[in-house]
Structure formats: C-alpha cells, structure tokens
Amino acid sequence: MTAQSNTEASPIITFENVNKWYGNNFHVLRDINLEVKRGERIVICGPSGSGKSTLIRCINRLEEHQEGRIVVDGTELTDDVRAIDQIRKEVGMVFQQFNLFPHLTVLENLTLSPMYVGKLPRKEAEERAMAQLKRVRIAEQAHKYPLQLSGGQQQRVAIARALCLTPKIMLFDEPTSALDPEMIKEVLDVMVELAKQGITMLCVTHEMGFAKAVADRVIFMDQGQIVEQNAPHEFFNNPQTDRSRDFLSKILGH
Amino acid sequence: MSEVTTFQFKPARPAPVRSEGLVPWLRANLFGSWQSSLTTIVVGALLAIYLPKFLNWVFFAATLTTNPDECRAPGVGACWGVIKEKYRLIIFGRYPFEEQWRPLVATALMLTMLVVSCIRWFWSRWLAAAWVVALAVFFILMYGSLFGRLDVFGLTRVTTDRWGGLPLTIMLSTLSIMAAFPLSVVVALGRRSHLPAIRTICTLYVELIRGVPLISVLFMASFMFPLFMPQGVTIDTLLRVLVGITLFAAAYMAEVVRGGLQALPKGQTEAAQSLGLSYWQTQRKIILPQALATVVPGIMNNFISIFKDTSLVAIVSLYELTGTLGLALNSDADWRPYKLEGYLFITAIYFVFCFAMSRYSLWIEKQVNKSRLR
C-alpha cells in the first residue's frame, strides 16, 4: 500500500474518462468520470442496458475498460495480474444471481477464499466465516448446501462470503432483483446494517427506499453515461434533467 | 376494513398410497394399450419359442468333456470343455506356461488396486503412492526386471510381445484411462483458453484425432512411428500402442469434459474471480468439480469404450483377451468349431467389467449430486 492511498482525503475509487465497448459497436461506457470517497455509499440506478452493472464490474476487473484510467485504493487497473489480484482482495462483490458454489456447503463457500487467497489456517478461516454468518443472521445454516436455502438466505450467505476477505469496498449488482418480494427485506436489512459500519458501498439497485435510507449519493445512468448525480433527497424530490424525471416517474409512479 | 379473522391452514397429509398388485401392474406396464398388448404378446411368443432352445444349448444339453469327439455327437449342446482345455491360453496368451503365476499375481494386484481406488475411504495421497508401487510391481512381475536393468529378482525375462490376454487388457485400459482422463481435462480447458495459441493447438489435436479411426492410430504407432526414429533408437511397441490409445481416448473425452464446462453458468467463474481466486484455483476448486460431476455418465461411457477398444491392438500383433481367443482356437483344428463357446466366455468376462463400471458410475453420480438434494 502506498502512503498516499491511506490519506483520508484521497478518493478510494477514481474513474478518469473511462470508455468501454462490447464488440465493435456497442459503446457501453462513455467518458465516465467518477470519484468515490472512502466510506461513501453510492446507489446507481438507471434503465436496463444503461451500463450501471458494467460500471461496477470494471472496479474489480470482471470487465476490462479500453480507454481511460481506473484507480482503486491507489492501484491502477491494468493488465498486470498482480495488481488485479491485489484489488480483488479489497473489493467484495454480491451478484444478482447469488453465484454461490452449489457443490460446497455454506461454510466452505465462506472459507474458500480466506484459506486459498488469504492463506489463513482452516480453523481461523472457519471462525471468521461463522462470525460473518452471525452478522447476516444465518449461522445455523452453516452446514447446509446453498440450494437447500431460500433465495433471501442465499443472498445473505453471498454477502457474508464477500465480507470474509474483510474488503474495503463492497459492490452490489442488483442484489434483490432475483428475490421473491417477501425476501427482499431481509437482504436489505443486512445491507443497511453494513452501510452503517462505514464500509465503502456501490450498489446497483432500484430499491429507492434503500437509496433514501442509506445512500450518500445517487447516480443516474443512461446510455453509458452518468446523467445526474446528487444526494438522494435532492435527486428524488428535485431531479435536474428531464431524463431522470421521466425515469423516476416510471419507477415511483405506482 | 372490517375485522381481521385468523386464517386456518389445513394440516399437511401424506400422499395417497398407490395400489401395487400383480394385476394392476400387468395392466399398467404390459397391457396398457393395444400397441403395448401386441408387443407383449409378440415378445412373449418369441421368448417361448427361443428361450428354451437357448437354455437347452447353454445348460441342459451342454457337456463339460474335454474330448472333442464327444462334443461332435448329435444332440450335444454347448461344449464347455473347450474353455476347460484352453482357458490358460485365452487368459494369459503366449506368456510362458510355467511362468503364468506372474501375470496372475500381477493382475490380481491390479484388480485389487482398482477396487480399492473405487472406495471413498481410501481416497488420499497414500493411494497415489500405492499405485506407483503397484504399477512397479506389476511391471517387474510381468517383465522380470525394472527398466531392463535390475535383474536382481531372479525372474526370467518375458518381453512385451509375449504378454497377452486378460492381464494385457486390464493393463492397457487402466493405464490409458489413467493417462487419458487428466489429459482430456487439460485439453478441454485449453480449448476454452483465452490464449489463441493454446486454443488452436488443443482444437487441432481434437479434430485431427477424431478424424482418424483408432485402427489407423494403432498402425501409425506400431509401424510408421519407428520409421521416423533415428537409427538404433527403439521404443517398445506396447508403449507406443499405449500412447496411441491414450491420445485417441483423450481427444474424445476432452469433448465430453468441454460439454460439462460449457454447461456451467458464467457467474461461477465471476464469483471465484471476485473472491480473488487464481485461474488454476478457480478451475480446481469451483469449475472442474461441478463440470465433471455433470458429465459422469459421458466419462464412464468413454472408460467403457476404452476398455473394449483395447481389443483392436490385435491388429498390431498384441494379443489381449479377444486376440488370445483367436490364438487359442485357430491353431487347433479339434477345437476350432467351438469358437461360439469361447466368445461367450470372453463376453462374460467383458460384461462383468463393463457392468461393474456402469454400476460404479451410478454410485458416483449419486455421491456428486448429494449437494443438490433437499
């Protein structure tokens, strides 16, 4: 870690003129400039295909950007594999489809990375895993297999798994979109609790209640661009562009 | 809104018991429709006509005599005496007669190792070590020395061209399966690599081998390969054939494994990457366990066909079980007419092995699917 990256003032994530294309024609991110402060909680919303998932997936290099610079906690994302490994240790991610490993028990899902990436002895990894499972209130399911759990339980396990590497940044890619309505709340509760503990969070979601409750900033994207960003209160009550006004009227309209 | 009432849930009750009896079973399975009834009657009639004849030939009119003249008497069924007379030649081939305890012990050791390896309790690093020792012992017993140098065991040397029969079948299939399986996994991963050179090499390998029959691979290994070797360098035919079978089998198996890799959702790789696992950690811990579990039936299919394809080595003058049967009966005018009995005998041997493999594969399937049971 460089000394400069630890200073409070410097942003933990920086996007500088980032551009990305899928194939030759689909310009999915266009001139993205973004600075995320340490401990900041950001909600990203926008219509489907607007590039919001791609944006956060660039932060841990699940997607490569072709132009511009992305710096995460003082390390720039390039083809350097060691830099990517370093950043992935500091960035946890939660997916829409949970992506738990179905052939491993809940506990094994959680200990895998601490043991093989963090080089922790098994016992220590298990202790850490159980602590995280307690945090998401699911410790009693530790020895079950993921597919034996409900969707909401699986997503909470996925959050615990991402937390096991003690990341500085958590990325959420539509974490409640694949859940039954009755299970959304249990996942959001865990996320709200997490938000209160000062971890940097970037969350792609359409749960506007969550955005109002915890976000420091809401980013609205469309067609690969950041259309508007503002504090949630301002964004919801006083959207600055016609595009965001139109979007909000559609998702809040009923 | 008016008063809220408490909703009364109905208690769960067990599913109704299905009536199981002979008559309902017959009606459901054999006489469910007129097509079904017709099939039942035709098959039943054929069985009634031919089954007694077959059983009569196999058991009731069969003879165990080792005198071929008695077999020729009218009304005599199968002449099992041919097996009694020739079983050592069929099982051990041209291996020197008085030394045949050696392939017997060696094969018994190999079979024991195979059975032990199938039992979960023994799966550990020690098993791999035990295999190294067992294979060394196998070759010392069969060949009489190790690497042709250490003659300290006091055994006469038996060159590989005299090995044959069941020991050869089992050795060829075990070794080629053990080598082809890991190779197929590497090739399957290689075909999905993002490095174009590796991807091209693996694709070329699979497509080239799949475009050629096994017989020509064996011919090339046996007859053409030596032409390209520098003068004075020889590699044992058996080894060349073994490599040929392995390369052939691995190409097919690689495609089965690739099917399993293809079936996994991309999210599994992404989740592993987001947790910081390296490429090989991801493959070993996340991707392969799941991909291989889905293709157990296909892989076992390949194993069984390798086991039976070893019979093709007869065309390059290596006599495994099928080859030794011909060897045993063709040279003996007295017994030559009783090939059918001989073939039924080796059929039974092949069947026992193949059936064991297929039952074992069902057990493995059940084991790997445990995490999917509720």
Contacts of A60 in chain B (CB under 8 A): 273-274
B21 touches chain A (CB under 8 A): no
**Whole-model pTM over 0.90:** no
Together in a domain, B259 and B152? no
Whether the pLDDT of residue A7 is over 60: the answer is no
Domain count, chain B: 2
**What's chain B's average pLDDT?**
89
Q: Which of residues 253-312 of B touch A (CB under 8 A)?
A: 265, 267-268, 270-278, 281, 285-286, 289-290, 293
* Tokens, residue B64: 């165990």
Does residue B308 fall inside a structural domain? yes
Q: Which residues of B touch A99 (CB under 8 A)?
A: 265, 267-268, 270-271
Same domain, B201 and B340: yes
pLDDT at B374 over 60: no
Q: Please indicate, yes or no, if residue B280 is contained in any of the structural domains.
A: yes
| pLDDT greater than 80 at residue A54 | yes
Cβ neighbourhood burial of A68 (10 Å; 0-12, 13-18, 19+): middle
Which residue, B67, B279, B97, B374, is CA-closest to A144? B374
Res. A209: pLDDT tops 80: yes
Residue type, B245: I
Q: Does one domain contain both B140 and B241?
A: no
Domain contains B336: yes
Q: Give the whole-angstrom CA distance, residue B246 versus residue B174.
A: 10
Chain B residues with CB under 8 Å of A114 CB are none
What is the Cα–Cα distance from B163 to B169, expressed in whole angstroms?
Answer: 10
pLDDT of residue B143: 85
Residues of A numbered 40-79 whose beta carbons fall under 8 angstroms of chain B's beta carbons: which are they? 60-62
In tens, the pLDDT along B258-271 reads 999 999 999 999 99
Decide if B48 is inside a domain: no
Suggest the residue from A101, A164, A168 to mutate for an interface test with chain B (most B CBs closer than 10 A).
A101
Chain-chain contact of B371 with A91 (C-beta, under 8 angstroms):
no
Taking residues B263-290, report their average pLDDT.
94
pLDDT in tens, A65-99: 999 999 999 999 998 888 999 999 999 999 999 99
Q: Which domain holds residue B108?
A: 97-157
d(CA A215, CA B180): 55
Residues of A in contact with B365 (CB under 8 A): none
Domain final position from B157, B181, B204: B157
B345 φ, ψ (degrees, to nearest 5): -65, -50
In a domain, B266, yes or no: yes
Could you report the predicted ipTM of this complex, rounded to two decimals?
Answer: 0.91
From chain B, the residues in CB contact with A92 under 8 A are 274
Residue B1 confidence (pLDDT): 54
Q: Indicate whether B101 and B91 sit together in one domain.
A: no
B151 and B163 inside one domain: no
Question: Of the residues B118, B136, B157, which one is the last residue of a structural domain?
Answer: B157
Same domain (yes/no): B146, B254: no
Residues 6 or more apart in contact with residue B9 via CB below 8 angstroms? none
Q: What is the pLDDT of residue B149?
A: 60
Q: Which of B264, B266, B273, B275 to mutate to test the interface with A (most CBs of A within 10 A)?
A: B275
Hunting for tokens 């370093």 — which residue is that? Answer: A86
pLDDT of residue A3: 43
Q: Which of B157, B185, B205 lies at the terminal end of a domain, its last residue?
A: B157
Q: Which CATH number covers residue B226?
A: 1.10.3720.10
